[in-house]
Amino acid sequence: MTAADFLPLLALFVVGYLCGTIPFGLLLARIGGHGDIRKIGSGNIGATNVLRTGNKSLAAATLLGDLLKGTVPVLVGHHFAGDAGAMAGGAGAFLGHLFPVWLGFKGGKGVATYIGVLLGLAPVGVLVFAVAWLLVAYLTRYSSAAALTATVAVPVAYALLGFSHFAIFVSVLSAIVWIKHEANIRRLLSGSESRIGAKG
């Protein structure tokens, strides 16, 4: 790959990263009068923690924002540089959400933005994710276990469906999601993870 090929991909990665750093949960919680979302619940800036404010509308808006900031850079990247550009934009958005420079590189866990990236790359991935999540959530009542299982199912499905280049790329994103869920994994193993619908 020459510099002429690399520079557009780098530019798309940077644009994606900047999109990914938009902290929708933090901004919407403040606009909604709930202060700094990082000071309640898990301290996370994602939709799950926003939901702990009791405002379902703000949580839904956060989810949508975190999802779209993964999808838009992928679509823009694909428009300018095909699949390589799509992956560059998606990687930037995903990492921007996890490690936003404006928040000291302390962002969310990436699941919503991960789904947004899938939507832009090959929407069938979102369907696979949803089916896997619903099945595991129904069987275990653990949201984290459902999400982690779904991130394994998606790259496997992409590989089986012929999206081999996307499968490799998404496998890397999935591995990062697992790393960001280290605390959840420890609680799952110890049996102390909260179940869906459990009272605090």
Quickly tell me which residue has 């990665």 as its tokens.
13
pLDDT > 90: percent of the chain: 76
Distance of CA 103 to the CA centre of its chain: 17
Q: What is the pLDDT of residue 54?
A: 81
Same domain, 115 and 150: no
Integer angstrom CA distances of residue 174 from 21, 29, 35, 105, 149: 19, 28, 31, 19, 10
Same domain, 132 and 99: no
Q: What is the pLDDT of residue 37?
A: 85
Same domain, 82 and 127: no
Structural domain count of the chain: 2
Same domain, 62 and 96: yes
Q: What is the CA radius of gyration of the chain?
A: 17
pLDDT for residue 47 is more than 70: yes
Which residues, other chains included, contact 48 with Cβ-Cβ below 8 Å and sequence gap of 6+? 42, 59, 143
The mean per-residue pLDDT over the stretch 151-163 comes to 97
Task: Give the tens place of pLDDT for each residue, 59-70.
Answer: 899 999 999 999
Same domain, 11 and 99: yes
Which residue has better confidence, 101 or 196?
101
Which residue has better confidence, 45 or 63?
63
Q: Of the candidates 97, 120, 143, which is a domain's last residue? A: 120
The mean per-residue pLDDT over the stretch 29-47 comes to 84
Same domain, 193 and 137: yes
Report how far residue 63's alpha carbon sits from residue 69's, in angstroms, rounded to the nearest whole number: 10
| Confidence bin at 194 (pLDDT 50/70/90) | confident
- Burial label for 139, CB within 10 Å (0-12, 13-18, 19+), is exposed
Report how far residue 195's alpha carbon sits from residue 58's, in angstroms, rounded to the nearest whole number: 22
Same domain, 145 and 61: no
Residue 25: closest CA among 101, 107, 127: 107
Report how far residue 72's alpha carbon sits from residue 68's, in angstroms, rounded to the nearest whole number: 6
Same domain, 153 and 181: yes
Q: Is the pTM of this model over 0.85?
A: yes
Are 68 and 116 a contacting pair, CB within 8 Å? yes
Q: By residue range, what is the domain housing residue 106? A: 1-120
Q: What is the pLDDT of residue 198?
A: 65
Residue 35 region by backbone torsions, left for phi larger than 0, else alpha for psi between -120 and 50, else beta:
left
171: its two tokens: 């496998």
